[in-house]
Structure formats: structure tokens, C-alpha cells
Amino acid sequence: MKYYTVLDLSPDATAEQIKTAYRILVQLHHPDRLQQANDGVRQYAEDKLKRINEAYTVLSDPARRAKYDATLRTPMPRVPADGYGYATPADDDWDYAPRPTRRRKTTEQAAAEAAYDEWAHRAADQYAEAREAERQRRAARERREAEARAQHAEAGRYPRVRADAETTDLRVYFAPGQWTTLKRVPAGEFWMGADPALDSDATRAELPQHRVAVSEFFISQYPITNAQYQIFVEAQRPPLAAPAEWQRPLGQETHPVVNVTWEEAVAFCQWLTRIAGRTFRLPTEAEWEKAARGSEGLIYPWGNEWAARHLNHAGRLGGSTAVGHYSPAGDSVYGLADMSGNVWEWCADWYADRLYPQRATNIAHDPPGPATGEGCVARGGAFDSSPRQTRASHRNWFYPHQRRNNVGFRIVAQAG
């Protein structure tokens, strides 16, 4: 018996395909479906079902199937054409053994077979529909499983970025339990630099005050913390910083990271970009200042009046505080903490002392700063800075390879 033909399968069918075909054929060819047919038709259906069961018995058993498959690859024995078993010199005289003569069907058998064939034709259509439905169910199940695997893999991949469901902000997850929010700063113009008529502490590097247009961006609500930076250090092979150069201070996991060079802050952003699949970088000087003072050009993040209780400065505490310690009173108009005091923050720009006069005549759009320089911009003041240095417009710089215990950074994600 041609078992694969009985089940309408190819010899390379899988065990699951054999099981599915058998289940569908049993449902379609069961004699109970021929309740109204005559005895001959039902008998024919029973014979058909026996052949289906026999085929499934062989093909569902790996050992029996292997033995059966071997017979398909073995040619039938040949005997001489004269049928007596004597060899003849000519190869052309050899042929496969003749098939037995089939007995002629009776009229009753022919009628039963014809009736069954008519029913089987309709059943074949149902069988095709059933197989297509099964194929679609299997494809849908495979899609669901693939989606579940992808979601599981995504859930275990860090760092990753997610849009906040309730706001326009972003969240960056560095590891389970370690994440930070990036606040949206809308596109628009603001006053950059200081106006001596309004700010008596203005320095030459902050003059003249001028209009700058900045595109939309997202900036981290807090400076990067020691715990978050530790994840980056451990992800490097070999570690970026030797233990003697950078170690996470015990008990200060939520304090801003310090003793990090400008190059290492840039490397942190590049690592985050590579893993999270979104562009991260240090803020430009213009972006940092707009985020700190808003479109109206406030002197301090919270307003134009000095308030010592809103920031960590002047060495009063002897070091940094946990990020957000002075929130929300000391936050900027965009909800950003520690933009004044606590630690200086690296910016992407090289520093140029007489930069502002070059762009004072027209509105500058997303100014990138000079292409080269001696040092890189640092903004915001630190725990040991004077009130004058913690103003939003104050400019400072350090060498890019320099490590200091009062300099950290925060990150920016480009919109879109």
C-alpha cells in the first residue's frame, strides 16, 4: 500500500503533518458521515478508513516508517520475461515482475464505488478547506510564538528606550531597576547669554545676550548616576576605566557620577546609542542653557531671584548630594533637576571665550560651537561653586582628558 498517497502527503512530511492529515482524514471519511448511504457505500467507506488507519499506524511509528521508507528506495526484483526464472543473454529480456490480474468488479461493487467517489469528491473539497484552515491556524500560532519570543528577548535586552505612556517624555532603562527619564524640550527660540542690565554677575564670555533657535530634543532629568555609569563600565571589554581611576563610591549609587573625562562621557553616549538603537550624545552648550533657563532666559533654573535653599553649592555639604535632592523647588521650567550646583556637567562643545559676538547679529539655529579648542564646555556649577558660577548663563571649561571630583554629565536624545 502506498501509505503516503493514502494520507495525501509527500515522503518528507513531518510527524506533525502526518498527525494533522490523519486527524482530518478520519473526520472526513468516517462511515458515520454516511448515515443516509446504502450498505455498499458504507462498507466502501469502512475499507477506506482501514487503509487510512493502516497508513497512519506505519507512518506515525518512527521505526516502522524508516523500514517502509527503505522499501521505497529498493527496486523490485526482476525475473526473465518468459516468467520461468531462467536467465537469458539479453538484458532487454528482463522486466519487472508482472502485476497480478485484477478480478472484474461486480455491478454492485461498481455502484458502491461510484457513489463513494461522488461523496469523496465533496469530502475532498472539505478536506482541502480543512487543511487550509489548519495551515492558517498553524501559521497564526507560529506568528504568536515568534512575537512572544521577540518580546521575551526584548524584555531581557538592556539598555532600552521607551516612550512614557502618560507624557511626551522618554525613559531609558539601563538594567532592571535602573532607569532615567528624558524630558522633552520643545523647539523654539530663547535668550542665550547674560544682560548686564538685569544680571550684575554677567561675565565677558556671556556677552552679548542674543537669540538662539534650538530644535526639539530630550535631555535627562538628572545627571547620570554612579549606579548607571557602573553598568556602562562593566559592559566594556576590557573595562574603560581602570579601578584606580574610577570606582563607584559605596553608598552613593544615586549621586551623580564624577571623575569622568569628557571622552568617557562621549563613549557612554556612543555605547547607549549602539545598544538602545537611538542616537544619544552630550547636550550642546545652547541646548543645555535652554534646558536650564527656558525660553525667557531666566537667570537661575527656578527664576531670576537667588535662593540658596534650591541647590547644593559653596561647599556647605562637602560633596555632592543624590540627584533630585532639591526637586522640585530647584528644577527648571522643563522639570530638570540639579541644573545649578551639585556637579558641573560636560557639554558637547569646545570652548571659545569670544564666541557670542560672532552670532549676535542674526538668530543662530542649533549652533554647534567651534570645531576645535583647548577645552570642552562645562555648565551649571558644582557643590563647591559660588552663586555666580551657578547662574544658567555662566560658562566654564575643562580639559577633555581631565578627571575632577565635581564634574559629571547628563545625556540628550535627538527627537525623531
User: Do 244 and 383 have their domain in common?
Assistant: yes
Backbone angles phi, psi at 371, to 5 degrees: -75, -30
User: Do 41 and 183 have their domain in common?
Assistant: no
Tell me the pLDDT band of 127, cut-offs 50, 70 and 90. Answer: confident
CATH number of the domain bearing residue 109: 1.10.287.110
How much is the pLDDT for 154?
Answer: 52
User: Do 206 and 306 have their domain in common?
Assistant: yes
User: Do 185 and 100 have their domain in common?
Assistant: no
Q: Which is more confidently placed, 35 or 299? A: 299
The last residue of a domain, from among 116, 144, 172: 144
Closest CA to 173 of 163, 159, 185: 159
Closest CA to 223 of 251, 183, 179, 255: 255
Does any domain span residue 127?
yes
- What average pLDDT is seen over the chain? 86
Query: What is the value of pTM for the model shown?
Result: 0.64
62-103: per-residue pLDDT in tens? 999 999 988 887 655 554 544 444 444 444 444 444 555 555
Mean pLDDT score, 339-367: 95
Q: The C-alpha cell of 52 is what? A: 487510512
Mean pLDDT score, 53-59: 91
The last residue of a domain, from among 114, 144, 174: 144
Residue 104 has pLDDT above 70, yes or no: no
Distance CA 257, CA 254 (A): 9
Tell me the pLDDT band of 152, cut-offs 50, 70 and 90. Answer: low
Share of the chain above pLDDT 90, in %: 53
Share of the chain above pLDDT 70, in %: 85
User: Do 189 and 302 have their domain in common?
Assistant: yes
User: Do 124 and 254 have their domain in common?
Assistant: no
User: Do 344 and 283 have their domain in common?
Assistant: yes
Does any domain span residue 153?
no
User: Do 166 and 233 have their domain in common?
Assistant: yes
Q: Which is more confidently placed, 260 or 168? A: 260
User: Do 176 and 317 have their domain in common?
Assistant: yes
CA within 13 Å, CB half, 399: 4
Q: Give me the number of domains the chain comprises.
A: 2
User: Do 135 and 175 have their domain in common?
Assistant: no
Does any domain span residue 24?
yes
Q: The C-alpha cell of 239 is what? A: 573595562
Residue-range definition of the domain harbouring residue 241: 160-414
Tell me the pLDDT band of 319, cut-offs 50, 70 and 90. Answer: very high
Does any domain span residue 151?
no
Pairing of strands 344-350, 407-408: parallel
CA distances from 145 to 20, 135, 148, 282, 322 (A): 19, 15, 5, 39, 43
Does any domain span residue 154?
no
The last residue of a domain, from among 109, 144, 179: 144
Distance CA 41, CA 15 (A): 31
Name the helix (H) or strand (E) containing 408: strand 407-408
Residue 329: which residues within 8 A CB-CB, separation 6 or more?
Answer: 302, 307, 309, 310
Does any domain span residue 241?
yes
For residues 159-181, one letter each, b for 16 or more C-beta atoms within 10 angstroms of the residue's C-beta and e for the rest, the string is: bbbeeeeeeebbbbbbeeebbbb
DSSP reduced 3-state for 162: strand
Residue 308: which residues within 8 A CB-CB, separation 6 or more?
Answer: 314, 387
193-240: per-residue pLDDT in tens? 999 999 999 999 999 999 999 999 999 999 999 999 999 998 886 555
Mean pLDDT score, 5-20: 89
Beta strands per DSSP E along 55-204: 78-80, 94-96, 160-163, 170-175, 178-185, 188-192
Mean pLDDT score, 252-273: 96
Does any domain span residue 110?
yes
User: Do 99 and 63 have their domain in common?
Assistant: yes
How much is the pLDDT for 77?
Answer: 55
Distance CA 47, CA 33 (A): 14
Distance CA 55, CA 388 (A): 91
CATH number of the domain bearing residue 164: 3.90.1580.10
Tell me the pLDDT band of 121, cut-offs 50, 70 and 90. Answer: confident
User: Do 399 and 288 have their domain in common?
Assistant: yes
Residue 145 has pLDDT above 90, yes or no: no
